[in-house]
Amino acid sequence: PDVINLIAAGEVIDSLAAVVRELVENSLDAEATRITVSLMPNLWQLQVTDNGKGMSVEDLRLCANAHSTSKIRDRQDLWKINSLGFRGEALHSIAQVAELEIFSRAAIDEIGWRVAYQEGKLVTEEIVAIASGTIITVANLFASLPVRRRALPSVNQQIKLVQNIIHQLALTHPGITWQVWQNQKPWFNLSPGMTAKEILPQILKRVNLTDLQFLKLDVAVPEESEAKSNLELVIGLPDRCHRHRPDWVKIAVNGRIVRLPELEQTIITSMAKNVPRDRYPVSFLHLHLPSHLVDWNRHPAKTEIYLHYLPDWQEQVTQAIEKALTITPI
Ligand code: ADP
Ligand code: MG
């Protein structure tokens, strides 16, 4: 209960995109390498299938309870969060606002299970034959909340938000095979083993990214000799005529896109020194840091964070950019 109080009420399911984000993040936490998303936005329905480690029947019975998480057990764990989820609120919240059905088989189990929830309550539990992994179906989202439904943006706008979530998750978790369907038509696909440098042009479709540079560096963690960290940097210059989103500068920390305005400014400034004035850089920086250096609790949506030793990271990022630009000037 103490831990529960520490965990800010965060994961609010307020849109289709929020459901997609939570389900896909669970697949990533389960170490899936293949994720299929099937979206039927007009029916308020979607399905996420993964080949991750799956759930036991005990997990399946508990996973939609309030604060049910297998990822955090005590107060100490809050300071070393490595998973995307940790509050144990997503499935619980989804089960309150939609029909939730889960098929799952843990890799070590011989049989799989199907459970169904209605209005948050477990109503079905049966044995099923499935491959190891998990299939989660969410249907009739917000059916009991017509006011919420009406308050949401148009279907097209919601689809854009979903697309954005999927793009971000794909970019921050390279190597995953993606199959995303919308109304049973292919919508976004990534073949196995793609790198961030290969994924970025898929996401920024309208931009002709010819000379992307990629750099991966081990970086020293201030005041710690043992801690291992690295940064991955993809930078480039789109075509001269490119005018849309002049500031496509994104930062991810440990698999999550974050807002770190100070570090974004560092990137913009150091690139500005090196590129012609009429061309706008594109940059994706991914920091992999020991989790105790990151404080995710700045904001419930986990998009704004505090980074310890920020000036040191600014310095290291500046050096990395200069290095990338000397290796192959753009
Ligand atoms: P959290 O991700 O914060 O732990 P969720 O409500 O998102 O909470 O999920 C509850 C639990 O259900 C997870 O901790 C995990 O044990 C299990 N779970 C959910 N989705 C999956 C999945 N796709 N594969 C394996 N386990 C899952
Ligand atoms: Mg989760």
* Confidence band for 36, pLDDT divided at 50, 70 and 90: very high
Q: Is 99 in the pocket of ligand 1 (CB under 6 A)?
A: no
Average pLDDT of span 53-75: 80
Of ligand 1's atoms, which has the minimum distance to the CA of residue 50?
Answer: 23
Distance 59 CA to ligand 1 centre (A): 9
Q: Is 133 in the pocket of ligand 1 (CB under 6 A)?
A: no
Q: Is 259 in the pocket of ligand 1 (CB under 6 A)?
A: no
Ligand nearest to the backbone CA of 71: 1
Residue 279 sits at φ, ψ, to 5 deg, of -125, 140
* Chain segment 75-121, per-residue pLDDT in tens: 555 545 567 766 678 899 999 999 999 999 999 899 999 999 998 89
User: So where are the chain's domains?
Assistant: 2-190, 202-327
Distance 153 CA to ligand 1 centre (A): 28
DSSP state of 230: E
- Rounded Cα distance between 209 and 160, Å, is 22
Q: Is 47 in the pocket of ligand 1 (CB under 6 A)?
A: no
- Rounded Cα distance between 56 and 132, Å, is 11
- 282-288 and 294-295 beta bridge pairing: unpaired
| 181 or 77: which leads in pLDDT | 181
State the CATH architecture for 2-190: 2-Layer Sandwich (3.30)
How high is the ipTM of this complex? 0.99
Cα–Cα distance list, 63 to 20, 92, 120, 124, 300 (Å): 17, 7, 11, 14, 21
Ligand nearest to the backbone CA of 134: 1
- Rounded Cα distance between 325 and 2, Å, is 49
- Rounded Cα distance between 248 and 268, Å, is 10
Query: If you average pLDDT over every residue of the chain, what do you get?
Result: 84
Q: Where are the alpha helices (DSSP H) in 124-249?
A: 146-151, 155-172, 196-203
pLDDT on residue 9: 26
Residue 132 confidence (pLDDT) above 80 = yes
Strand partners, 91: none
pLDDT on residue 322: 87
CA angle 35, 38, 43 (to 5 degrees): 155
Residue 42 sits at φ, ψ, to 5 deg, of -70, -25
Query: Between 3.40.50.2300, 3.30.420.40, 3.40.50.300, 3.30.230.10, what CATH number should domain 202-327 receive?
Result: 3.30.230.10
- Report DSSP letters for 252-320, one per residue: EETTEEEB-HHHHHHHHHHHHTTS-TT---EEEEEEE--GGGEEGGGSTTS-B-EETTHHHHHHHHHHH
Best mean pLDDT range from 227-231, 301-305, 306-310: 306-310
Of the candidates 64, 57, 54, 137, the one whose C-alpha atom is nearest the C-alpha of residue 102 is 137
Atom 17 of ligand 1, nearest CA residue: 63
Distance 75 CA to ligand 1 centre (A): 19
Q: Is 159 in the pocket of ligand 1 (CB under 6 A)?
A: no
- 99-105 and 213-220 beta bridge pairing: unpaired
pLDDT on residue 10: 29
CB 113 within 8 Å of CB 127: yes
* Chain segment 139-168, per-residue pLDDT in tens: 999 998 888 888 899 999 999 999 999 999
Q: Is 270 in the pocket of ligand 1 (CB under 6 A)?
A: no
Distance 26 CA to ligand 2 centre (A): 5
- 228-236 and 213-220 beta bridge pairing: antiparallel
Distance 83 CA to ligand 1 centre (A): 10
Q: Is 291 in the pocket of ligand 1 (CB under 6 A)?
A: no
| 48 or 2: which leads in pLDDT | 48
Sorted by sequence, the CB contacts under 8 Å of residue 147 that are 6+ apart come out as: none
Distance 148 CA to ligand 2 centre (A): 22
pLDDT on residue 225: 66
pLDDT on residue 20: 97
CB 174 within 8 Å of CB 255: no
Best mean pLDDT range from 35-49, 146-160, 241-255: 35-49
